[in-house]
Amino acid sequence: MISFIYYSKLPNERIGASPLESTGAIVVIINKVTADSIAYDHRPALKNPVLIVAFAGWNDAGSAATTAVRYLTEQLMATKFASIDPEEFYDFSVQRPQVRLVEGAEREVQWPTCDFYSGAGVGVERDFVFGVGAEPHLRWRMFCDTLLGMARECGIELIVTLGAYLDEVLYTRPVPVTGFATDHHLVRELDLVPSRYQGPTGIVGALGDACRKTGMPYMSLWAALPHYLSTSPNPRGSLALVLRLAQWLGLRVDTSSLERAAAEFQNKVNELVNKDPNLSAFLRELKKREFEQ
């Protein structure tokens, strides 16, 4: 016999416990918060889907990762089908909801969350799910369980996270892309420099660990951006991530508008460097160190 036990809002507030629990019967414990945390607009039929996700915040220097995911969402004309209820995962005093005027009259509150979009791939025999939103503040393990539950329900075959970080790199060079994967063949196939990072992590690291523990195939791509340029967004980082993904997946994506934005960004940085003798001197020294290595 199987008995079901539901959690209430907090995991330590168990309700509906069955007396069978003390008889040796099999007891299945369901975290009701996780089950109710995904709101579906509809449930798309997907073919061999890949989930590509990015989170704004600590994992997203120069907004490169979230810009890349939003760009792909637009290019594939993906439509929103689900979102994660923010109530359990976000501290609204840290990231406050935004009030927007609807049709110039009524006010509507927009809450920080993570939304999911589905779209058909062009030139490939698979569909794509894109996830984009703010990094959650609370209950990261529960958030990862919620996302993985949605992924399993949608039949996701691979989860790809995108990120960007600040590093001592020359802005005149192609943007370095590093990464790691649960399947080491993927790293070699993409000709990636394996990430050797150790230290504090964000929700991307927590999600990767959850994928590893549950057997979900997982890969993460990271763009390295110059730490001495605080400009955001950085379309050069976004372009590097989009091109690497499109090349690997065989996905046909029009990157012309992103390329133009990256070129304009590069021109503005050139002007900034030319006007700043201290920054120019730092870059000459950085180039010298790179050459000596």
Lowest-confidence range among 28-42, 134-148, 207-221?
Answer: 28-42
Joined together, the tokens standing for residue 106 give 């009524």
Instruction: Look at phi and psi of residue 104 and say left if phi exceeds 0, alpha if psi is from -120 to 50, else beta.
Output: left
**Domains plus CATH for the chain?**
2-30 (no CATH), 37-261 (3.40.50.10900)
Amino acid letter, residue 72: L
Looking at residue 24, what is its pLDDT? 53
pLDDT band at 188 (very low <50, low <70, confident <90, very high): confident
Model confidence over 216-271: pLDDT tens digits?
Answer: 999 999 999 999 987 789 999 999 999 999 988 888 899 999 999 999 999 999 99
Cα–Cα distance measured from residue 73 to residue 143, given in angstroms and rounded to the nearest whole number: 22
Residue 38 has pLDDT above 60, yes or no: yes
Taking a C-beta distance cutoff of 8 angstroms, is the pair 63, 234 a contact? yes
Instruction: Tell me the mean pLDDT in the region 188-205.
Output: 84
Q: 203-214 vs 140-153: helix axis angle to the nearest 10?
A: 50
pTM comes to 0.84
CA distance linking residue 114 with residue 135, whole number of Å: 8
In angstroms, the CA 80 to CA 270 distance is 38
Give the separation between CA 181 and CA 31, rounded to whole angstroms.
Answer: 29
Q: What digits encode the pLDDT tens for the residues 45-81? A: 999 999 999 999 999 999 999 999 999 999 999 999 9
pLDDT at position 112 over 60: yes
Residue tagged 């994992």 (tokens)? 59
226 to 134, 163, 164: CA distances (angstroms): 23, 14, 10
> Whole-number mean pLDDT of the chain?
86
pLDDT of residue 22 exceeding 60, the answer is no
